Amino acid sequence: MNSLVKLVPGVYHDSVSLMRVSQALSAMPGVEVAVIAMATPLNLDLARELGFDPPAAASSGSELLVAVRARDVTAATDELDRLLGELSSRSPAEAADFPPRTTRSAVRAGAANLVLVSVPGEHAFAEALDAVEAGLPVMIFSDNVPVEQEVLLKRLAEERGGLVMGPDCGTAVIGGAGLGFANVLRPGPVGVVAASGTGAQHVTSLLDLAGVGVSHVLGVGSRDLSAQVGGLSAIRALRWLDDDPGTELIVLISKPPAPEVARAVQEVVDKLRTPVVSALLGTSGGDLTAAAESALGRLGLEPPAWPSWSRPIARGSVRGLYSGGTLCTEASLITPGGFVDYGDDVFTRGRAHPMIDPTLRLEALAKVEPGEVALMDVVLGHGADPDPALRLAPAIGAAAGRGVQVVIALIGTEGDPQGLRRQAATLYEAGAAVFTSNAHAARHAAGSAT
């Protein structure tokens, strides 16, 4: 095998696009491994772990890292040039009608009614500020944004009559249009305010499985109910949904909030005309499945038997390998064990989210000891891995062969492009126990009744 590793200045593409380029190169005959990514410290370390020796010169993180090991490096780099060319190419018509280069110019140019910001965290503030100053709601998908900037944006939005969803807002659904990671949901009467992307996806997916749809899902960012931020966007979003004629019930979702913020938000909830079901983890001992069932009850419906593909399990220490932060928190509150949220900022700086790129979790699964239980989430929907079971199934089979028990919380709907039941069948056949309720999966992993 021959190796090539270099840094290419002046080239930038988003992490999702580069991950797909890496996967395409890795699938070529004769290619052992290919890492095409921005040259962040994390990606440089990944290249070193794979046996490459990146240039010693300091990287600003703005160069493109190319690391390829193959029988024919020239053929691999020729294909790389072609793939990168496809990312950069524009037709003459596209070049003549080139889109605005800044948020400010985009707002001035058209009739936008919402701004989505998805840039590296250190650059998100300026783009979001343009939207807030224009009085538009903004969804900040970016993470790694300083909390001081978040507070400033949200206070300014309150003054201008806008709403800041995020930073680290992974999921929103506005009038049926999904933004970020979004499941295919039927329209309906339930509005959601969520300081949690995967928490919102889980509750709305359960509602969809029960035949109930949503009006809007307003993500507010994972830190919104912290003491530093004070629930600024959650309070604003609750009032927006209270004024929405299509919303008959509101579900409020969050990781464990700061106690004083939970009290302040509850004071607002008590004054709303629209009934609210609260799913604030850690405050009442409830879980997200119980919240979905409570919402169904408020609508006069009986909860269904949540689909599952179960297997007997022997008690063993639980290792939680999660991609969703709230799902990880919920599981850790239900069962003791060692839990890691691979969607945390420390793991996503300079690389794709684990809902897109499972590499880190596959590596962690390979290190789970025989007799232990690996508890994982798999989240479907637009924006996520188009076929997560394809890469997970061989790793699950290998783990089962070593005596590792695997339990999966499968989050999604029947309408998701990956196919909920097809994914469940593949994961089950590989050796995993599969549940559509994360709480049920966690209790099963602990050897408890679900």
Per-position b or e across 95-112, b if 16+ CB within 10 A of its CB:
eeeeeeeebbebbeeeee
SS3 assignment, position 141? coil
Predicted pLDDT at 111: 64
Residue 184 CA to residue 202 CA, distance in Å, equals: 12
Query: Which token pair is 305?
Result: 């038997």
Instruction: Please report which confidence band the pLDDT of residue 92 belongs to, taking 50, 70 and 90 as the band edges.
Output: very low
Q: Which fold has domain 308-445?
A: Rossmann fold (3.40.50)
Q: Which helix (H) or strand (E) holds 3?
A: strand 2-8
Contact call for residues 8 and 77 (beta carbons, < 8 A): no
Q: Which residue has the higher pLDDT, 346 or 108?
A: 346
| Topology adopted by domain 172-304 | Rossmann fold (3.40.50)
From residue 9, how far is each of 38, 61, 78, 430 by CA, in Å?
10, 10, 18, 43
Percent pLDDT > 90 in the chain is: 73
Nearest to 38 by CA among 20, 68, 15, 67: 15
Architecture of domain 99-167: 3-Layer(aba) Sandwich (3.40)
Q: Which range, 109-123, 335-349, 354-368, is most confident?
A: 354-368
Residue 351: Cβ within 10 Å count: 20
The SS3 assignment for 394 reads: helix
- The string of pLDDT tens digits covering residues 376-388 is 999 999 999 999 9
- pLDDT one-digit tens code per residue, 179-216: 999 999 999 999 999 999 999 999 999 999 999 999 99
Q: What are phi and psi of 434, to 5 degrees?
A: -125, 135
Q: Indicate the fold that domain 2-92 takes in CATH.
A: Alpha-Beta Plaits (3.30.70)
pLDDT at 38: 87
Q: Where are the domains of the chain?
A: 2-92, 99-167, 172-304, 308-445
DSSP state of 182: B
- The whole-number pLDDT of residue 57 equals 61
- pLDDT at residue 285, rounded to an integer: 66
Q: Is the pTM of this model over 0.85?
A: no
Q: Are 287 and 330 in contact (CB under 8 A)?
A: yes
Cβ count within 10 A of residue 305: 5
The pLDDT tens digits of the residues spanning 208-259 come to 999 999 999 999 999 999 999 999 999 999 999 999 999 999 999 999 999 9
Per-residue pLDDT tens digits for 18-40: 888 988 898 899 999 999 988 88
Closest CA to 376 of 357, 358, 356, 351: 358
**What's the confidence (pLDDT) of residue 95?**
42
Give every CB contact of residue 416 below 8 A, 6+ residues apart in sequence: 183, 184, 380, 381, 382
Domains 99-167 and 308-445 share a fold: yes
